[in-house]
Structures are given as structure tokens and as C-alpha cells.
Amino acid sequence: MNFSPQNMVSANVIMADVLVSLNDEDQKFFNPGFYISQIQQALQELSFDTYFLNLHKDFDFPSETLSLEMPKGSFNLKQVYVFNGDNCNIESSKLVWIKDGYITSGKDKGYTARNKEGNTDPFINNYRSSIVSNYLPVSDTDVLFCSIQNGRIMFSSSCSSYSKVRLEYLGTMCDIGEVPFIPTHFREAVKLWVEEKCLRYLKARNPRFYRPLWVDVNSLLNQPFVGAWDIAKQRVSNMDSKEADDLKEYFTKMNY
């Protein structure tokens, strides 16, 4: 996360502006929960569009089921590690690789996959061991792998010798049902996103009155390059200056 949590503003601060803008200080057009829901959705959309929120979470390894549900609010798994010890003392951490099409029901219950040790048919004849033996350990027990299907991560039996799993993923700002907090650099985008949504719904009630208002807000939000949404994206892309500077330094110091 490239911003301080102390700079975040609460949903109430966003609502304070939005309610005035929509002339709904009495909250008669929409109820308070509806506004919070829209703010949450705005943050989710920002997360999907900008990948601004990198999260990680540790779990006990599911040694029996070998499967783990992806955390709430996560939408893009970036890394999977297994390790022993605990968060304060990580021992022997290993990277877990993705094995496409791997499906298992649990420990000692076997699995299916296209690339599987012992496959023998006219097209795939003991495929894995014959190809990788020069480079990698030849047995499934030596390779740590997993797959993801419908938000469920399934691990190989070899991972069960580790007690913890760490997932790195992109996420949304908070779980559904919680009150969201908004990074200050997204404040304007979130505000306009909520206003645009509300005016779009109000158009159904009184199109002649609300359509001009909606057009104005939609323009402020979605105008290319200068709209609040594009500005939010630009801000996120400019946030990783440390990472960009370091990469530049690495590359410029290489002797080629």
C-alpha cells in the first residue's frame, strides 16, 4: 500500500459532500445504507481498475482438505508461499507454483491434472518425469504446486509438510458489510462515482429534472484524461516512484 492509512477519510466524510450535492440532506432519496453501499462499490471498481491495493494474509495450512478459500475482497492472486513457524519467525519458506488443471478432494485422495506423474497414453507418455528430470526433482513429492478454481486454492500433498500458507493478492478496500475508508487521493473520484450512480437512479423517477444533472456529473467523472476517474488512475500509476526509481537504478548499473 503506497499511502498512509492515516490519510484515509471515512465514508461519512464522502457522504457529507454527496448529500449536499444531491440535495438529499434529509436522506429521503436513498437510505444511508444505500450510500455506503455505493461508496463500497466505487472502491471496488477503483481496485479493479487501478490495482492499488496489495494485501497479504496468512492461514494455517489445510492439511486434510488441501484446499483454501480465497479471502473475502480478494480478486487477483499474486503469490502463494508456504512456510513453517509463525508470522514472527518464518522458517523455510517456499514458493508454490501454479499447476494448471490440478483438482483434488483432499489428502491421500489422489488428483487429476493434464501434466501428472505416471501418465501413460499414446500422447502423453510419462510426460512429466521424462521432460523435467534434467532440471527439476522427478517426483510430485518434491514439487510444491497448487491451482485455483472458482476462488478455491487446491494444494498438492507435498505442501502439507508446511504449517502455514501466505497469500499475496490484490484486494478491495474492505469486506462487504464493513464501513469503507477511502484514501484521500481517491476522494474526488469516489464522491463523483456515488453522485453519478445516484443521479442515474434518480433519472428513473424524474428524467427531465435529473438528466442534465447526471450529464454534468458524468462528464466530471468520466471525461478522458481530465475526469476524476482517469486522474485517480494516473495518481495510482505515479505512486510507485520508489519501485520505478529502484528498477531504473538496477538496469543502469548492469554491465551490458
CB-neighbour burial class of residue 41 (10 A; exposed 0-12, middle 13-18, buried 19+): middle
* Of 15 and 153, CB closest to other proteins: 15
Tell me which of 15, 18, 19, 40 binds other proteins, using CB under 8 A: 40
Tell me which of 2, 21, 37, 222 binds other proteins, using CB under 8 A: 37
* Of 23 and 93, CB closest to other proteins: 23
176 near other proteins, judged by CB under 8 A: yes
Do residues 54 and 173 lie in contact, with contact meaning Cβ atoms separated by under 8 Å? no
* Of 61 and 210, CB closest to other proteins: 210
What residues have CB less than 8 Å from 39, skipping those under 6 apart? 11, 14, 15, 180, 182, 190, 194
234 near other proteins, judged by CB under 8 A: no
Tell me which of 4, 5, 33, 225 binds other proteins, using CB under 8 A: 33
Do residues 43 and 172 lie in contact, with contact meaning Cβ atoms separated by under 8 Å? yes
Do residues 59 and 164 lie in contact, with contact meaning Cβ atoms separated by under 8 Å? yes
Contacts with other proteins: how many residues (CB under 8 A)? 13
What residues have CB less than 8 Å from 219, skipping those under 6 apart? 227
Tell me which of 1, 7, 20, 23 binds other proteins, using CB under 8 A: 23
75 near other proteins, judged by CB under 8 A: no
201 near other proteins, judged by CB under 8 A: no
Tell me which of 7, 10, 27, 105 binds other proteins, using CB under 8 A: 27
Residue type, 127: Y
28 near other proteins, judged by CB under 8 A: yes
Query: In the block, which residue shows the cell 480478486?
Result: 75
Q: Backbone phi, then psi, for 55, in 5-degree steps?
A: -130, 160
Q: Which residues bind other proteins (CB under 8 A)?
A: 23, 27-28, 31-34, 36-37, 40, 176-177, 209
